[in-house]
């Protein structure tokens, strides 16, 4: 899933004028006058009851959606009897696929029954088809629009593509292309596996560890700036055929930190096996 972002120092702050207007309006309002006490017993009782009641407590819904139910059962809990789903291996993976299909079906059902709030009427219909000389009866009917908020849909992918092109048009061509691949031998994965389990049996565990390491890598590159100041970045996460995720990341550096020659690129990129004594962490 592609994701586009701009460095925080490039974002423009807004809302200052609205806060100033709000403060001006609040300053013009006259303070409320205290109510006169006429000795009425009923008003005194009402104030006493209101003071004892306290602030209203928010009501909690007892219903959950399918995604929340599936996320709850996918957690590995202790004792094992509270998380028996994760011990199913291939059957567990089939259950995960079924839950995903259920969640996606519910989202599609909601979109189908809420075309009005999604402003589907602004898209073409039968009249547009006739205007465009596309009067084939097989292509006519009720049009269901998938909005850009539906992940994986055509408008969602087109919007991400347009955002990426807008970033390149604004900040220039990317300077670094980095690929991060999940390693099933990571210590965080191996230590959490049950006896006789392999990494492919726990897609939830692999995804969680990979996402955490991806966020750590982005923090090193964006916040600490190990390659220089990053003004914009774009990344996409894909899954290999063996089920392991990997990320492709593009970075656009500030003009003062762009590599200018082969020597500077060689300082960033290394195609050698790490030395056991010099780089024990990478070995």
Decide which of 269 and 177 is more confident: 177
Residues facing 176 on adjacent strands? 251
Does residue 49 have a pLDDT over 50?
Answer: no
Report, in this order, helix, strand and coil percent for the chain, each rounded to 5. 50, 10, 40
Question: Which tens digits make up the pLDDT trace of 227-281?
Answer: 989 999 999 999 887 778 999 999 999 989 888 888 888 888 878 888 888 888 7
Residues facing 246 on adjacent strands? 181, 238
The whole-model pTM stands at 0.66
pLDDT value at residue 206? 92
Alpha helices in 74-153 (DSSP H): 90-113, 126-131
Across the range 5-28, mean pLDDT stands at: 41
Helices (H) and strands (E) in the chain, counts: 9, 4
Which segments within 91-229 are labelled E, that is strand?
176-181
Pairwise CA distance, residues 144 & 282, whole Å: 51
Contact (Cβ atoms closer than 8 angstroms) between residue 53 and residue 47: no
* Tokens representing residue 5 in the block: 């972002």
pLDDT value at residue 135? 55
- Phi/psi at 251 (5° precision): -125, 135
Pairwise CA distance, residues 131 & 282, whole Å: 64
Q: Name the residue among 202, 216, 209 with its Cα closest to residue 88.
A: 202
Pairwise CA distance, residues 117 & 8, whole Å: 32
Most confident of 43-47, 71-75, 76-80, 225-229: 225-229
Contact (Cβ atoms closer than 8 angstroms) between residue 89 and residue 201: yes
b/e for 175-208, b at 16 or more Cβ within 10 A? bbebebebebeeeebeebeeeeeebebbbbbbbe
- Quote the Cα angle for 242-248-254, to 5°: 165
pLDDT value at residue 89? 83
Pairwise CA distance, residues 135 & 15, whole Å: 50
pLDDT value at residue 274? 81
The DSSP symbol for 223 reads I
Q: How are beta strands 245-253 and 176-181 bridged, if at all?
A: antiparallel
pLDDT value at residue 212? 95
Cis peptide before 79 (omega within 30 of 0): yes
50-56: long-range pairs with CB below 8 Å, 24+:
none
Pairwise CA distance, residues 259 & 253, whole Å: 9
Contact (Cβ atoms closer than 8 angstroms) between residue 268 and residue 227: yes
Asked whether the CA dihedral 142, 148, 152, 153 is positive or negative, the reply is positive
């Amino acid at each position: 899933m592609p994701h586009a972002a701009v460095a925080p120092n490039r974002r423009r702050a807004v809302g200052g004028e609205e806060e100033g207007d709000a403060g001006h309006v609040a300053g013009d309002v006259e303070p409320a006058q205290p109510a006169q006490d006429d000795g009425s017993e009923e008003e005194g009782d009402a104030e006493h009851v209101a003071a004892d009641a306290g602030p209203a407590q928010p009501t909690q819904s007892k219903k959950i959606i399918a995604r929340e139910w599936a996320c709850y059962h996918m957690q590995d809990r202790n004792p094992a009897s509270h998380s028996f789903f994760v011990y199913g291996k291939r059957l567990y993976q089939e259950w995960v696929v079924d839950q995903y299909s259920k969640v996606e079906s519910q989202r599609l059902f909601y979109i189908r029954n809420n075309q009005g709030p999604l402003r589907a009427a602004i898209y073409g219909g039968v009249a547009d088809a006739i205007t465009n000389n596309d009067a084939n009866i097989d292509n006519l009917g009720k049009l269901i629009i998938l909005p850009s908020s539906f992940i994986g849909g055509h408008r969602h992918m087109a919007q991400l593509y347009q955002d990426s092109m807008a970033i390149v048009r604004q900040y220039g061509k990317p300077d670094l292309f980095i690929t991060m691949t999940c390693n099933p031998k990571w210590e965080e994965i191996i230590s959490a596996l049950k006896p006789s389990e392999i990494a492919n049996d726990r897609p939830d565990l692999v995804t969680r560890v990979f996402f955490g390491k991806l966020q750590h890598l982005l923090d090193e590159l964006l916040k600490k700036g190990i390659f220089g100041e990053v003004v914009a970045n774009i990344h996409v996460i894909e899954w290999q055929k063996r089920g392991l995720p990997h990320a492709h990341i593009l970075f656009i550096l500030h003009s003062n930190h762009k590599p200018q020659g082969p020597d500077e690129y060689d300082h960033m990129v290394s195609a050698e096996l790490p030395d056991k004594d010099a780089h024990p962490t990478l070995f």
